[in-house]
């Protein structure tokens, strides 16, 4: 099994200071992969900068110029959550280009699967706006690129970040070629992602939102994967699967209230890999979104690579949650989503 990763020090130059989304995230990931010797089992993919034409597959050119100009002026705050430094534009175009390059490597048969370890993240960025720590929507750009270059007809995006990927949803809300499925804590930032947001026109039904109550852990997430994501994916029959991988549903995460463990992430990735193997020749590309507890993030990503490599031993040093939340019942939610999307 040949598994690749995208990484470059350019991503550390997106200097956000003491912001929770900072360079320490990638440094912790790479350090852990090196210390555990997993990195030597992986193939490095050197990223390239996304072109203006590639960025404009998703974003308005005026908006792209706005981000470039903001960096040239020295950066600053774009909104209450999102900050730039002088090198942020360069890091952001290499983040978008990183997942594009990973997608090329998988589609061209160089690799079986790949993970783009990039920042800034992307799934909140809309065609006209930066938000939620995101400048350009990396996964959306790679999706549009793959549709165009490889003449694909169906791509599945699975987003298990704890926040709803409003920018990704907005990009493909009227596009029947893309099935977007999101699991997220709800109601929570950015406030979108209710079950009745299902797409418009010919794309009605190709947005599947799974708005979970706070306190959901491994069992609830696996129920959702097995009862909603698997049948929806099989019905759609994608030719490529892209994953917005956020590790902030972990129980140790300070920005959210979910209860997922590293073992739980491994189980979810195992299901996704099984879908890719069954439906699209194993073609599977991950890109990093959230995750701000450095131990949970680094070990979660190692567990993801272990699953992709076929390693059976999953290290979960943090174990199950030490927080005491009442486990919510999501049976009625699952029933409502299945009825909304006519799933068996």
Which residues are within 8 A (CB) of 277 and not within 5 positions of it... i.e. 6 or more apart? none
Give the Cα separation of 244 and 165 in Å (integer): 9
Antiparallel, parallel or unpaired: β 155-159 and 240-245: parallel
**Which residue among 59, 124, 163, 341 is the active-site one?**
124
Q: Say how many CA atoms lie within 13 Å of 171 toward its Cβ.
A: 32
Active site residue 124: yes
Give the Cα separation of 343 and 276 in Å (integer): 20
Q: Of 233, 124, 114, 248, which is closest to residue 180 (Cα–Cα)?
A: 233
Sign of CA dihedral 104, 310, 178, 221: negative
Give the Cα separation of 22 and 14 in Å (integer): 8
Secondary structure of 4-36 as H, E, C letters: EEECCHHHHHCCCCCCCCCCHHHHHHHHHHHHC
Q: Say how many CA atoms lie within 13 Å of 7 toward its Cβ.
A: 18
Buried b / exposed e across 260-278, counting CB within 10 Å, b at 16+? bbbbbbbbbbbbbbebbee
Residues serving a catalytic function are: 124
């Amino acid at each position: 099994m040949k598994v690749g990763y995208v990484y470059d020090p350019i991503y550390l130059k997106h200097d956000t200071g003491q912001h929770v989304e900072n360079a320490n995230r990638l440094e912790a990931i790479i350090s852990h992969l090196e210390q555990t010797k997993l990195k030597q089992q992986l193939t490095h993919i050197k990223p390239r900068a996304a072109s203006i034409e590639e960025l404009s597959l998703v974003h308005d050119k005026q908006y792209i110029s706005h981000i470039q100009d903001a960096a040239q002026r020295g950066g600053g705050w774009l909104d209450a959550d999102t900050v730039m430094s002088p090198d942020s534009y360069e890091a952001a175009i290499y983040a978008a280009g990183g997942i594009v390059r990973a997608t090329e490597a998988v589609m061209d048969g160089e690799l079986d699967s790949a993970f783009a370890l990039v920042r800034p993240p992307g799934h909140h960025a809309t065609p006209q706006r930066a938000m939620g720590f995101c400048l350009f929507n990396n996964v959306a750009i790679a999706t549009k690129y793959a549709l165009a270059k490889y003449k694909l007809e169906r791509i599945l995006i699975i987003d298990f970040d704890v926040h709803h990927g409003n920018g990704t949803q907005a990009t493909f809300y009227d596009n029947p070629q893309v099935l977007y499925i999101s699991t997220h804590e709800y109601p929570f930032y950015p406030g979108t992602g209710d079950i009745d947001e299902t797409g418009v026109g010919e794309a009605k039904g190709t947005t599947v939102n799974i708005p979970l109550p706070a306190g959901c852990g491994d069992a609830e997430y696996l129920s959702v994967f097995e009862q909603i994501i698997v049948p929806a994916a099989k019905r759609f029959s994608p030719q490529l699967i892209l994953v917005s991988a956020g590790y902030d549903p972990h129980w140790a995460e300070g920005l959210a209230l979910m209860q997922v463990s590293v073992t739980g992430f491994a189980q979810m990735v195992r299901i996704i890999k099984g879908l890719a193997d069954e439906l699209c020749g194993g073609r599977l590309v991950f890109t990093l979104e959230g995750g701000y507890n450095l131990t949970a993030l680094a070990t979660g990503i190692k567990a993801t690579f272990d699953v992709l490599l076929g390693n059976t031993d999953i290290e979960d040093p943090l174990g199950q949650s030490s927080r005491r939340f009442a486990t919510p019942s999501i049976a009625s939610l699952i029933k409502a989503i299945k009825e909304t999307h006519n799933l068996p």
